[in-house]
Amino acid sequence: MEAIIEAVCGNSPRTLTWTVTHEQAWEVGLACGGTIDVLVEPRVRQEWLDAARTEGGYVLATIMRGPDTGSAVLVSEDGTAQLLDQFPVDLSESATRAALDALAALRSTTTTLGEGEAERALFLEVLPRRPVLFLIGGVHIAAELTRLAHPMGYRIVVADGREGFLTRERFPDADSLLPLWPAEAFAAVEVTGATAICVLSHDPKFDEPALELALRSPAGYIGAIGSKKTQSERRARLRASGFSEAEVARLHGPIGLDLGGREPAEIALAILAEITAVRYGRAPTLGAQAVSAVGP
């Protein structure tokens, strides 16, 4: 508290370091000791507050230690950099690259730039774009997916041209219910790299147009329900309609990790597990899991 008061009164940021031994940690019930750096700033930057009110992804890279402590650069997901409090111009490019790497990993971290007396430690504070789960088909699996994804912070959109499928009783946790066919639904939803698209209707009238629109989008994840045979035929049709091998390879199908479950809730868990792995840059094991059992 004293450090915060001093920083506010003196308008001077500072970094404090605390070290806790294993013995001290055990005394208060912690598993182990360690060292923690705390950056104390006199104010929250208005630019950071403004960024937090938008839908876009941002990183605030603040110098924690070394020359120019407290100066920062605000980096947006498109690579635009805004220098704050006289952040060193010569470090802006390398700081921007480090910030974009942290944003891609969806994880705040620290890094060091420069050498010798010019070395600076940076805190990269990540404000990711809110993830969106875009479900095509108001089926049982979609209903279970919304229940699982809601507490994970997803904005959930469910689209189905069959309006009777989209009721609040079935989808209490969805943010948007769109009684629209795929072309209209895609026009109504902003698809970004933070969007996971799941095509679940198992009806070619919905699935095929939805997949073509999804593969032309920047969505971070695209998955479709169906057996291995269905997926093979689907990929052949996509290639025949002009999609490249690289574009077709974006499709996850059979959708979800091979967890072996057969019930809608178990299949939903497998799907969300795969989405999570892809979102964090892991290589999920793709396989013909129980989703193949729901149709030919």
- Domain borders along the chain are 1-43, 51-129, 132-294
Give the per-residue pLDDT at 287.
43
> Do 93 and 83 touch, CB atoms closer than 8 A?
no
pLDDT tens for residues 54-89?
A: 888 999 999 998 888 899 999 999 999 999 989 999
Average pLDDT over residues 41-46: 86
Of the candidate ranges 116-120, 166-170, 268-272, 291-295, the one whose mean pLDDT is the lowest? 291-295
Please give the Cα distance from 57 to 73 (Å, whole number).
Answer: 14
Give residue 181's pLDDT.
Answer: 94
Is the pLDDT reported for residue 90 higher than 60? yes
| Local confidence band at 288 (pLDDT 50, 70, 90 cut-offs) | very low
pTM for this structure?
A: 0.81
Residue range 126-135: average pLDDT? Answer: 95
- Report whether pLDDT(33) > 70: yes
Q: Using the predicted structure, report yes or no on whether residue 108 has a pLDDT greater than 80.
A: yes
Does residue 94 contact residue 75 with C-beta atoms inside 8 Å?
A: no
132-294 CATH fold: Rossmann fold (3.40.50)
* pLDDT given for residue 185 in this prediction: 96
pLDDT at 295 over 90: no
Cα separation of 229 and 60, whole Å? 47
Quick one: average pLDDT of 151-174? 94
244-264 per-position pLDDT tens digit: 999 999 999 999 998 998 899
Q: What percent of the chain is modeled with pLDDT above 90?
A: 67
The one-letter code for the residue type at 25 is A
